[in-house]
Amino acid sequence: MNRKPENGMGEKSEGKTRKLKTKFWRKRVGLLVFFMRADVFSIEGKKLHEVELPTQFSADVDRGLIKRAVLSIQSAAIQPKGAFAWAGRLNTARYRGRRDLPGDDRSINVGRSRLPRLRNRGGRLRGKVARVPQAVGGPQAHPLKAEKTIIEEINKKEKRAATASAIAASAKRELVVARHVLAKDAKLPVIVEDKIEAIGKTKQLVGVLSALGLAADIDNAKGKRRRRAGKGKKRGRIFKQKKSILIVTRENAAVFKAGRNLSGVDVCVVRNLNAALLAPGTVPGRLVLWSEGAIKALGEKPKKEAKSVEASKDVERKVKVAEAMKTVGHGHAKAGAVGGKK
């Protein structure tokens, strides 16, 4: 008859076995992620070859994390605004409530409101109420404050994870179809050869998108431009435009000019990719067109930024000045030694 040990060693061994199994399956999943592949198409819409997808495409889709990252990016663009702290208070107004003051100086028991009044001796403004919100020219009751915290902070690793989660969502058909018009035979993610980056004419770009089966989404976005409701019309934001395809390139290329004339189309360099571009309105599942170079750049490790030329020149200048100062200092010391007492 098997008995469980009284000291609980059986439970510990079961916990270790569970952890080992978890590690084993994580390794297996990692191998599966490593071999994820996708088709690369030509600008004519023909399949060329396959390419390995970066690990970002296998991340979990976390809607809450994506929403936090998008709101953080949007709040960082808000300009802090507030009223001048001394607005309505740059005057001589003062409230004096003592009963033993002369009638002209006190504000109590004289048949008028107990409020701060101007102390302009002998002037026409003497005794006028000021320095309070209900007075003419007074401060606001509860003005906007520039020191208010408007930016929603997010950790760098969380922001990076949100971008990876949004990239993974762009490859899931059920999420993309909920936002865009997609052909039944279209495969996700859509990857095109690097020739697409050299296209500089809008007409040529529309032809490429038609060959890939993505032109219907642009036509859908073109018909969904409407006037904004509310006061935003007075502030330069008259229209609202539905978002369409996002084109991601390796470097700044001619396709930026070709894509800016299409309704709802955005073009972005892969290093500037963020959750706000991949999930407009905090909703993941944007239709993304990748160049082959952008996919390769996405899988590369980020390199440390080299020092700028101006910074290196500034360092060289400081070194030269320090050496010159040393030389001048030695010269003064020798001159003093020669001209001094023997």
Q: Burial, 280: exposed, middle or buried (Cβ in 10 Å; 0-12, 13-18, 19+)?
A: middle
What mean pLDDT value characterizes the chain? 84
pLDDT, tens digit (0-9, with 9 covering 90-100), for 240-288: 999 999 999 999 999 999 999 999 999 999 999 999 999 999 999 999 9
Say what the pLDDT of residue 234 is: 94
Say what the pLDDT of residue 308 is: 58
Question: Can you name the residues that pair with 94 across neighbouring β-strands?
Answer: 117
Say what the pLDDT of residue 322 is: 77
Distance from C-alpha of 281 to C-alpha of 263, rounded to nearest angstrom: 17
Helix extents (H) in the chain: 9-34, 63-76, 156-169, 173-177, 202-211, 215-222, 255-259, 275-278, 292-299, 309-339
Say what the pLDDT of residue 319 is: 80
Looking at residue 201, its amino acid is K
* Extents of the domains making up the chain: 33-66+154-299, 79-149
Say what the pLDDT of residue 35 is: 58
Say what the pLDDT of residue 232 is: 93
CATH top-level class for 33-66+154-299? alpha beta
Say what the pLDDT of residue 335 is: 43
Say what the pLDDT of residue 336 is: 45
Say what the pLDDT of residue 108 is: 74
pTM: 0.72
User: What residues in the chain have per-residue pLDDT under 50?
Assistant: 1, 4-5, 23-34, 330-342
Distance from C-alpha of 309 to C-alpha of 97, rounded to nearest angstrom: 68
pLDDT, tens digit (0-9, with 9 covering 90-100), for 54-97: 999 999 999 999 999 999 999 999 989 999 999 999 999 988 87
- 138-142 long-range Cβ contacts below 8 angstroms, 24+ apart: 138/88, 139/83, 139/87, 139/88, 139/89, 140/83, 140/87, 140/88
Comparing CA positions, the residue from 164, 318, 311, 181 lying closest to residue 242 is 181
Distance from C-alpha of 289 to C-alpha of 276, rounded to nearest angstrom: 16
Comparing CA positions, the residue from 180, 168, 199, 175 lying closest to residue 275 is 168
Instruction: Report the percent of the chain where pLDDT is more than 90.
Output: 61
Distance from C-alpha of 1 to C-alpha of 290, rounded to nearest angstrom: 64
